[in-house]
Structure 1
Amino acid sequence: MKFCGYLPELNKKGVKMFNNAHRLSWLSSLVTAAFLGLMTLLSGCGGGGATAGNVTPDPLVVSPSAAVAYHGNPVTLYITGGTKPYTVTSGNSALINVPNSVSGSTVIFDASNVAADTDAILTVLDAKGVTAISTITVKPSVINNTLAVTPDPASPGTGCGTAVCSGLMATVSVQLQNMATPLVGRNVRFDVVQGDFQFITNPGATTFADTITTTTDQNGNANVRLRANVNAPTQYAILKVTDVDGGSVLQTTFTIAQYTDGTGILSVVPPTQTIQAYYKGDCSSGVSVDYIIHGGTAPYTVQSTSTGVATVSPGTVLTNGAGFTATTHSSFCPGTATIDIRDATGKVIQATLENKEGTNTVTVTPPVTIAFFTTAPATIVIANPGSATFTVGGGTPPYYASSSDTANVTASIVGNSLTISRTGVVIGETVSVTDSAGATKSITVN
């Protein structure tokens, strides 16, 4: 500030020197430069320059600050702030072994397997001694490296080899163990990650989904089935398996191979069958016959166009060379059922089953008839009081009995047994016995 107070005086001298014509040109140039420099100093007076000092770095942060790890599934930590270079140490190097020095800003590690949840602390140290930590919880990795995709059938056609042929099936299996102990009843989810395939969700292989959940059996195995999409091109596909109860994950890659051999020669053997009943007016019911499908592209759907004549089972035939069964019904007699067979590419052929009426006449032999009778004589004598029992039969049951004097004589029939009872004085009272057709027998009671 004191220096700037002299600037007006110096400025006047500078102008005077500048206007002095008898000075040498080099001295004039020197003075001019001095003048301009002083003017620059003048313009800076009253201001203050920045004072250089230490720059405070951003706080040291490691993220995530807490994470879950499974053996076989690497975890990445990200370091920001602080002062590079960084070093990392593990509080449990047997569980998590990390490199001591970090070349960049990330740390990637894989934890060892454990039988139960175990924590380990990773400490990040920067160049100035500042620390940050991340707490890692290592959980049991129960999905072992037994995830397998097995084509079903294993070799369905030329060119597929160990790949899953387009339009065909495969079995996916995985085993869950905790330190060699099978986990029974564990929930396991299978997901499509990439590729033209879906999981089969019903026994008939007619419904499909991108995800399916099942449980492990007594050996810790979980099995599902998948189908490659019809006409899917050759490709790599990826599926993922997740232990729903524990969280561990495993992925695998398999190959889908395009397979179209035989699409022009779809056939069924035999193409038609006939079942004939014996009697006229009758058709068979519950009689079964078999058909075999060849060629085309599996799987095949099978459907009867007239279920009143015949039904088919199963509705889906999974492999080339397998078959289905048609069973007759007599709801429509006679009749012919057309059976549509459609392969995975949409090609359709038909088979037929005729349920034919018989040709023989039914001979009906009339039953032997016995005339209505009773073992009671036309006139009987019964003591007073007293009763007598007789048999009735033939004719048309059931039978009925009545008395002309119920005060002194009663009659009853149970099944084929007739009982006549006397309870008073009688003089030729009549008991009538009748069958359901109206035939009557009369008995006089004395």
Structure 2
Amino acid sequence: MSAPQAAALHQRDFTGRILAASLVVRLMAILVSLLGLVGQTMTMPVLMCILVLSVTSLSVLLSPQVTGFVRRHPLAFVLDVLVALAVVYVVGVESPLVLVTLSTALVVGMLFDRRTAALCGVVLVAGYVLVSLYNPAQTRGFMLELGVPALYVGLIAVGGAVRGAHEAQLVAARQAAEAQLAAAAADERARLAREMHDSLGKTLHGIALGADALPRLVEQDPATASTYARDLSLGAHQAADEARRLLVRMRADQPDRPFAEVLAERCAAWEEAHGIPCRLTVTGVVDLATACRYEVLAIVGEALENVARHADAQQVEVALTGLAGGRVRVGVRDDGRGFLPRPDGGSPEGHFGLTGMAERAREAGMRLSVSSAPGHGTTVSVESVDPDDDRSARPETREAADA
């Protein structure tokens, strides 16, 4: 999900929470107003106002369709302003039900931009004043003449301040997300540049040198020229393979996505391809540098392929764990036949997987460990280590404890 899409979704969630909170406050105000009406004659207009306010509030609060419509079309809440004025007109400014209209002012400030909120505020205050002047027989006082209109204005201002703070938070979060994506992309470009220089660049340079010498050798030494031509052909194939591997690496990881999400997809794809259950567990907050992500994914992929080829396992567990100090551990454990690790931590005779995984771990500044024994499965784990720890330069192997 892009940053603008996430911001829009967050804004809709904020609108929904504001609506829910305001309607709960309104229902509480209705209850308080009913307490204030105890001992008074319940007229039909007052009863109708209470029913209208309660039904409209509950319909928005309990109906996802109505709530979703208001979230998508905030201007529909202008109808609530008109309902509030109608209530004031019917019950009069002295009725406790006037308290219910205060929640309208607060929500207006939160949902609308300044211009629309100010317009709604003018409508609320003007309507209230007109109702008060329409019935001059009502008791005069500060709260009736100035207090309630001032509360309308103040609550709209408070709602606007909350809206502004929320929008500022969204902008800051979006900028942080965009900066993080830009940094991840820059790291990825730098990593690919290093890999192209170390592999593809050197191969192409060798091909270029051989091609420069080939015309002269064709004239002076055809036999040597034939050898050069074969070498150039092999070099071209090697360059093509290296380019293909680079493309695969570019597609293997998406730096803008959470590492746990990418790892989960990798495990699910492996399980579907081989029919062996592969369960991923994530513990703690896990974050990996862009330069390490591919290496760790490649180690996990190699470990899973070893399980499929050699382990004859019934199930596999992949554990992604966040450790103290920002360190990370990733482990792949199977219940297969296992093997007897070599004392030097190298691959078994005729295989090179463990050696390659150890090299990848060193490249990522991590340490590989392998625990296995015949009949007791295998656990391959890679863990972040202190750069000054010389143990990171070699894999750690041990036999699994007997069951």
Same structural fold, with TM-score higher than 0.5 when normalized by the shorter chain? no
The structure in which a higher percent of residues are strand is: 1
For the pair shown, which has the larger CA radius of gyration, 1 or 2?
Answer: 1
Comparing both chains, which one has the higher relative contact order based on Cα–Cα distances under 8 Å and sequence gaps of 6 or more? 2
Provide the TM-score with structure 1 as the length reference. Answer: 0.18
Higher share in helix = 2
